[in-house]
Amino acid sequence: MTTQAPFHDIPTEERDRIQRAFNTFAQWDILTALSESSSSVMSAVMLAHYTARRFAHIEQALDTLVGCGAVEMLVDEKEQVLYRLTRDEATRQLILHILAACTDWAFRKRLVQWIFYHQATSGVQETVSGESS
């Protein structure tokens, strides 16, 4: 069984990048947290507390988000690693558009189905609450 990604109407190159940014609920939570403020920067520990997720899940999700260009990693003057939503305007607007679309129940349902489908086909077993099984 396949499921249609909620991003089917996005151009292919952008869709491939953005689908990697929405493969887990932890990634979704991180993008939501970082989008709350356009200047928001947070450490992995802060994101784990903010999202109520295990630090290991946040680290994995951040690696993927940095890798696909949805999130940028910074090092401050104290050499603390911080993260922020990408400054690339096209990617940023696409992420914000998807997060805003999540207020629509039908879109949100497709996104949740996409995440569950991706997890089933990739072997990732993360629940909505962030626990691994």
Residue type, 83: Y
For residue range 14-29, list pLDDT tens digits in order: 666 666 677 788 888 9
State the pTM of this model.
Answer: 0.75
Q: Which pLDDT belongs to residue 104?
A: 80
* Cα atoms in the 13 Å half-sphere on the side-chain side of 19: 21
Q: Which pLDDT belongs to residue 99?
A: 83
Give the burial string for 13-22 (b: 16+ CB within 10 Å, else e): eeeebbbbbb
- Sign for the CA dihedral angle at 15, 105, 124, 37 comes to positive
Residue 118, judged by CB atoms within 10 A of its CB (0-12, 13-18, 19+), counts as middle
Q: Which pLDDT belongs to residue 2?
A: 47
Q: Which pLDDT belongs to residue 101?
A: 79
pLDDT less than 70: residues of the chain = 1-20, 37-39, 122-133
Distances (CA, A) of 119 to 12, 33, 50, 105: 21, 22, 23, 21
- Sign for the CA dihedral angle at 49, 51, 53, 58 comes to negative
Strand ranges (DSSP E) for the chain?
A: 41-42, 71-75, 81-85
Which residues, listed in sequence order, are joined to residue 71 by a DSSP beta bridge? Answer: 85
SS3 52: coil
Topology of domain 15-122, per CATH? Arc Repressor Mutant, subunit A (1.10.10)
Q: Provide the residue ranges of all domains of the chain, joining segments of one domain with +.
A: 15-122
